Amino acid sequence: MTIDKFDFKDKKALVRVDFNVPLNEDFQVTDTNRIEAAKPTIIKILEDGGSAVLMSHLGRPKGSPNPDLSLSHIVDTVSDIIGVEVKFASDCIGDSAAAEVEALQSGEILLLENLRFHGEEEAGDREFARKLSQWGDIYVNDAFGTAHRPHASTTVVAEFFPEKKCFGYLLAREIEAIDKVMETGEKPVTAILGGAKVSSKITIIENILDKIDHLIIGGGMTYTFVKARGGSVGDSICEPDKTDLALSILEKAKAKGVAVHLPVDVVAADAFDNDAESRIMAVDAIEDGWQGLDAGPETLERFRKVILESRTILWNGPVGVFEMPNFAKGTIAVGNYVAEATRNGAFSLVGGGDSVAAVKQFGFDEKVSYVSTGGGAMLESLEGRTLPGIAAIRGS
C-alpha cells in the first residue's frame, strides 16, 4: 500500500522518517540527504490538504534525554529543505506533544522529539506505540534505514492503523529497487561485492547466487579467496579460517552457472599508508611485507567488460581502500563503469555504507539508477530477510 492510495485532506499523517543525520560540533547538519529523500512524501501530504507529524530517532541516547541528540537541532534545516516552517514538540508522547498535535493545522508540519529518549522505542513497547498512534489518522512509514528494526515507531505502531497505513515514496522506491535486482532484473545481472570480510557477506552471496549471472569480488575479501586457492597474499587482510567457506562459494556459483570474477592483479603497498611505496603484483603472488590495497589495471579491464555487458547491477562494497587517494583508483574506475552502463540503459543499485560513501565522495550518486538510504536494512533485504517495518505495512 503506497501513499498514492490515500487522500490526506483534513487528515493528520503520522510519518516515520529517518532523520538520523550527522551533526558537527555546532549541531549543524552536515549531510542532508535523508531529509531531502523524505521531502516528496511530506509535500504530497501537505498538497493534499493534510498535516504531517514527523517522528524519528537521532543517534543512540539509550533511553534517556540527551540535549546533544535533540531533534531541535535540525528543525531549521528541515524547514529550509521542505520549504515550510516546521514546528517542534519537546517530547514525542505526553501532554506537550498532545498540545502541539492538537494545534496543528492543514498544511503544517510538526517534528516530535527524539523517539529514543524513551527506552520503550527500541524495546518495541506496545503501549508506547499506542501513545504515538494517537497523533495521526494515517500511518506512513518512509524510513527504510530503520525498517529492519522491530521498534515501536517502525513496526508496532502499524497495528493501530489496520486499514490506514502505507509506504512513503522513499520506502516504496527502496523496495522497488531491490526487487529490480532480486526478482525482475533484466539479464545479465551482475553483483559487485567488495569490502573487507567474506564472513560479513556470506549470507548475501548465498542468497543472490540464484538471481545473478556474474559475481565480481573485490576489496579485502579477495585475499581470502586467493589464499583458499593456494595463492600467496603477503600481508594482505585475510580470514584464514574462512578459506573453506570461500571454496564452497566458488563451487556453489559454478554449480549454478554464475561466473565469478576475482582480481588477477593488485596495487600492493609496503604499508597501510597512503604514502607507502606501491607496485603492481599478481594477486596470487604478493610478496611478504606487502599488502594488496587496490585493484590492478588488468583486473579493472576485466571488470569493465563484465559491467558494460550487464543490464542489472548491484554494487555493495568498494574494491580498494578508497579512503586513501592513492588506492582509490579501482573504486573510481568501477564507479565510472557502472555509470557508463547506466547511461547505456542498465539499472544500477548501490547499497551498503562504504559503497554509498564512495559514490557520493566521487560524484557518482547522480550517475547510477538508485543509491539506497539504508545500510543495514539494504543488506538484510539482500540476505533475503523480511524486514519488520515492511511486513508491518503489508500486514504479513
Residue-wise pLDDT tens digits, 158-206: 999 999 999 999 999 999 998 998 888 899 999 999 988 888 888 889 8
Mean of the per-residue pLDDT values for the chain?
A: 94
Q: Which of 39, 126, 130, 197 is catalytic?
A: 197
pLDDT surpassing 60 at residue 210: yes
Q: Which of 266, 276, 275, 274 is nearest to 232 (CA)?
A: 266
pLDDT surpassing 70 at residue 282: yes
Which of the four pLDDT bands, split at 50, 70 and 90, describes residue 331?
very high
- Residue 168 annotated to the active site: no
Chain centroid to CA 156: 22
Structure confidence by residue, pLDDT tens digits, 232-244: 999 999 999 999 9
Binding positions are 18-20, 34, 57-60, 116, 149, 201, 292, 323, 352-355
Q: Kindly report the CA angle at 190 between 185 and 192, in degrees rounded to 5?
A: 130
- Residue 230 annotated to the active site: no
Structure confidence by residue, pLDDT tens digits, 66-84: 999 999 999 999 999 999 9
CA distances for 160 relative to 48, 93, 146, angstroms: 23, 16, 19
Binding positions for substrate are 18-20, 34, 57-60, 116, 149
- Residue 136 annotated to the active site: no
Q: Which of 241, 253, 220, 232 is nearest to 330 (CA)?
A: 220
pLDDT surpassing 90 at residue 94: yes
Q: Which of 12, 16, 34, 165 is catalytic?
A: 34
Q: Kindly report the CA angle at 164 between 160 and 167, in degrees rounded to 5?
A: 105
Whole-structure pTM value: 0.86
- Residue 94 annotated to the active site: no
Domains and CATH numbers, the chain: 3-167 (3.40.50.1260), 175-382 (3.40.50.1260)
